[in-house]
Structure 1
């Protein structure tokens, strides 16, 4: 979008310069030619009057006298009544058909011819057109820079919204969407806000259904199977009825297997839909946030990474979700009065692991933050476990990575 805007705006600027500059250049050229022709005629009139007055006084018309009427690149030819000729200025060999020529008759039968060189006219036209050309050239050179800035400003809201839409598509439904002054951009932003809110609600309901489906579906099926087996084994049950009841059990097993297949497929789909993020930089970022929090934002707690990971540790979760879980666990460490948090990273075949060992714990204030972290981890098929008062976050591993494995 930005490149197309730049091309369109630069082409528009060049067209404006051309549409203004070309007619202006022709107008100036004609104006200078007319002014030079008028000035030539005016000088010829003055010279004719002066020469006529000099003739009445019986004074000779000398070359020095004639040169007093000339400027650079002009010539003046005096033809006396007796046919004698005097020429001053540039030589006759330099005459051109494009010169401006003014001829005036004299009272005694002679005449004068004033000629202004075409080279002089061209030079004055060039001098007049040069500022116009330089201004046009400057506009053409500056236009891409100015238009780039304008296109950058016009396209920035839409590029930001494109990035927001990309992150929402990756599952970051809590992505902040700022307001824009451009009406079209604000309309798109508002549509994205509504869409992200609806998608977040749909995903929450889907996770709730997936989390409760095992209990709500498989438990009654298993209970029904047990009841049928008990009923079939009662002494009061006739043999033919017991045989009929036993024939129902394979159908219940098929139903149970179908439910289990559906739940496994739903879980695999959820794992495919979420992002893949490297756990190592996310953990480092969380440690830095809690070691040097913003002023007035939260209490700080020192942390240290026990062992440097050997490589990346990709897990199936969004960066925002992992950061939120870690923030809750660090919040829990602060609430418990810990003075140091030892962070250990590792992985198994199925999970990436982050273990937070607290030192200096003095005043436990409840498990609210831990419970919130555990609930958030369940949304990405992870879990938070507490062993000896220390927190361990387990997240499903993604393919790849060379980080150290732990048992």
Structure 2
């Protein structure tokens, strides 16, 4: 690109130089020649006047009388009828002459000749000067073209590097502008694309993290159900009951995956419906029964019954499962799941008898990658996002004992 810009600007300058210098050279050459010819003509007129004056005064005409009327290098020859030829100066040897002839009233003839060497030398100097000026103009044009090419090529190089960085997975915008509207527009579009790609990558990473965390709980529950089915294979009724629960877990997995994909495509997609909260609570008791029995702990349900709330059953189940799992991992003693009213909302509290949440964490437990122990720090953050996306909210009501509360809107039919 640099070479093309330099060649283009240099070509334009050469055309301008040719168009300007050639006519100027021709005009200057004609001017120099005409000026020299005018000097020769003037010398001939002066000599003729002097000759006529001397003839009128009946004085002799000699070469030394009109020698001071001509310039150096000029040769004068006067032909007077009856007196012969009188000359002054040295006759030029060159065949290229400037010549002027003047005739007087008495028949006298004055001829002035001058060699063109001086004129040709002046023309050569003029052409040399024009050549130097043209050369300086070309050099200046080359320097300007190189500077402009670098000025334009540097932004293009930066833009190419930005595009390459975007292609290699580094979507950081550079926020560089170059003072050229067209290039600034391209840079702005690339920065906007970089921000969009960064948001997309963040969403993809977040989706992967959320999916891995949300799928872990139902997969664990499903695994435990299948283990119980294997252990109780001789009891058909128990196998049937456990298989039914396992199928419910599969449906829950399907619901989780569908919800993740729907949220990824359109976070504002409405899925809230009115449902019986007791069904979700009962489902959680059944799902976590085996895990709690294995650790010698109990899940106790207290509070209201027959509460109808507005939301997505799968989302509410996932949030409660996260809270129960959090109590199972970090808490101790009995886990209490309590349902109580709060204005127009129904509140589901999850509490245990463990050491609670460290004071330095506080509400930061809902931030991603923040954990009081060796855990991922994603669960509570995902749970709060799910609750808010479903029209509810998740809060930490007490540090010691740890009490998490899920606020849900009550259905109008719940009167």
Q: TM-score, normalised by structure 1?
A: 0.54
Give the corresponding residue for 1:237.
236
> C-alpha separation between the residues in 1 aligned to 2:4 and 2:92?
59
Over aligned residue pairs, what C-alpha RMSD do you find? 3.6
Report matched runs for 1:97-176 at 5 Å: 99-176=97-174
SS in 1 for 2:69: coil
From 204, 208, 211, give the equivalent of 1:210: 208
Alpha-carbon distance, 1:76 to partner: 1.3
Give the corresponding residue for 1:6.
6
> C-alpha separation between the residues in 2 aligned to 1:20 and 1:36?
25
Give the corresponding residue for 1:54.
54
How many residues are treated as equivalent by the alignment? 253
Give the corresponding residue for 1:177.
175
Q: Which has the larger radius of gyration?
A: 2
Kept in 2: contact 1:70–1:89 (CA 8 A):
no
Pairing 1:199–2:197 present? yes
> Residues 189-235 of structure 1, C-alpha deviation per residue, up to 9 Å, x if partnerless?
21012100111111112222333444444664464344234335433
Give the corresponding residue for 1:26.
26
Report matched runs for 1:257-406 at 5 Å: none
Give the corresponding residue for 2:388.
none
Give the corresponding residue for 1:72.
72
Kept in 1: contact 2:173–2:195 (CA 8 A):
no
Kept in 1: contact 2:92–2:115 (CA 8 A):
no
Alpha-carbon distance, 1:90 to partner: 3.5
> Residues 143-164 of structure 1, C-alpha deviation per residue, up to 9 Å, x if partnerless?
2112222333344333332333
SS in 1 for 2:112: strand
Q: TM-score, normalised by structure 2?
A: 0.53
Moved more, 197-206 or 67-76: 67-76
Pairing 1:188–2:186 present? yes
Compared with structure 1, are the counterparts of its residues 35 and 173 closer, same or farther at alpha carbon in structure 2 (3 Å cutoff)?
Answer: same
Give the corresponding residue for 1:264.
none
SS in 1 for 2:93: helix
Q: Gaps spanning 5+ residues in structure 1: where?
A: 253-365, 376-382, 384-407
Kept in 1: contact 2:173–2:191 (CA 8 A):
no
Alpha-carbon distance, 1:114 to partner: 1.0
> C-alpha separation between the residues in 2 aligned to 1:89 and 1:115?
10
> Residues 225-282 of structure 1, C-alpha deviation per residue, up to 9 Å, x if partnerless?
442343354333289x99xx8xx9xxx9xxxxxxxxxxxxxxxxxxxxxxxxxxxxxx
